[in-house]
A = this chain, B = another copy of it.
C-alpha cells in the first residue's frame, strides 16, 4: 500500500480504509481515501504496513522521519509517545491536545476516548496558564488530562492533572482566647504557658520551644493575628503590630508571605491543618484533622502555592511529585482565583 506525503498529511487509497482503519483504527477515512497524520504514517512505515512516497519518489524510514520532523514541531516527541501508547495495546488518534486515547477494549466508532494527551519535552517549561487551558479543554468534554513528558533520553513519564476540591474535618478553627506574643527575628514567640499549650493543642498551631513557650511560624501568626487570637508586639519596643504592619514585616523576611498566608487561611477555612512542608520542599504538608499533638496522623497532601504567571520547570515538577508519592501524599498546586484558591492535583499514572 502506498502512502502519498502531501504537506503534513499522508493519503492512502481505498484499500487503506479496510486494512488500516477498520482493522487497526489508524487514520481517518476522508471520502474514498484514508488520511494519516505524520506520526501514524511513520509508525506504519516502521511496521512495514505502508510504503511512503512524495511526488512519486519513494521515501525510506530515515528520509520520511527527517522530512516529517521538519514539518511538524516536536514530531520526534509525538512519535515516541504515539508508538509507546500504541504498543501498550491502546487505540490512539490525533486530537486537540495532541492525542486522544481510547479505554482498553474501546476504539473509534464503538466508544468515547477516555483521555486527552498532551506531549511535552522535559526541557520546555509548561506555563500554568497553558496547563489551565488544557485542563479546561479536557474538563469540558469530561476527559482525563494526561501529560506525557518526554525526557532527554526519550523516556516518557505520564502524569494525570485534575482539579480537586479538598476539605478537612477540623470542627473548631482556633481556641477562644487572646494572648500576647513577640515578633522575634523571623518567628513569633508566645510567652504565657497556658495560652501556649491551649493554642498548640487546639488546631496544632506552632511548636513548643519548651513546655511554657510556643513558637509560631509567620503564616500561623498572620492567621491567628487576623482572627484576634494573638496580639503581636515588637521585641524591641513592645509596640503592637496590626495585621497590615505584621504582614509588611513578614513579607520583608519572606517575600512569598502574602500569597502563602492567603493559601494558609484558605486551607484552614476548609477545615484542614497546614504545617510547613520544608522537609518536602513545598510550602505545606496538610492534615485532614489533628485532634491532639500527641497523636499526629499521616498528612494527606503537599501543597505549593503558585503565582499566576508560574512556569513549571518539568524536572522540578517531576521531583516534587515523585517525592510526594514516595511518602504516600498527593501533590497539589494551589492557584489563586478571584475568590479563594483552586487546587490542581498532579500525580504519576500508568497508561
| Contact (Cβ within 8 A) B69 A235 | yes
Q: Which residues of A in the span 115-164 have a Cβ within 8 Å of any Cβ on B?
A: 121-123, 151-155, 157
| Contact (Cβ within 8 A) A154 B315 | no
Closest to A256 in B: B123
Known: A207-B153, A326-B323. A185 touches B281 (CB 8 A): no
| Contact (Cβ within 8 A) B322 A191 | no
**A187 in contact (CB, < 8 A):** yes
Q: When the two chains form the complex, which single residue of B83, B122, B185, B282 contacts A69, counting CB atoms closer than 8 Å?
A: B185
Q: When the two chains form the complex, which single residue of B157, B209, B210 contacts A279, counting CB atoms closer than 8 Å?
A: B157
Report the separation of the CA atoms of residues A217 and B62 in the bound assembly, to the nearest whole angstrom. 18
| Contact (Cβ within 8 A) A281 B316 | yes
A73 neighbours in B (Cβ, 8 Å) = 185
| Contact (Cβ within 8 A) A318 B278 | yes
| Contact (Cβ within 8 A) B69 A153 | no
Known: A253-B123, A319-B320. A153 touches B275 (CB 8 A): yes
Closest to A215 in B: B154
> Could you tell me how many residues of chain A have their Cβ less than 8 Å away from some Cβ of chain B?
60
Report the separation of the CA atoms of residues A76 and B186 in the bound assembly, to the nearest whole angstrom. 9
A53 neighbours in B (Cβ, 8 Å) = none
**A218 in contact (CB, < 8 A):** yes
Q: Which of A182, A281, A315 has the most CB of B within 10 A?
A: A281
Nearest 5 CB-CB pairings of A with B: A281-B319, A151-B278, A152-B217, A323-B323, A326-B326
| Contact (Cβ within 8 A) A278 B155 | yes
| Contact (Cβ within 8 A) B187 A152 | yes
| Contact (Cβ within 8 A) B187 A154 | yes
**Separation in Å of the A211 CB from the closest CB of chain B?**
10
Known: A322-B281, A323-B322. A76 touches B187 (CB 8 A): yes
**A66 in contact (CB, < 8 A):** yes
**A310 in contact (CB, < 8 A):** no
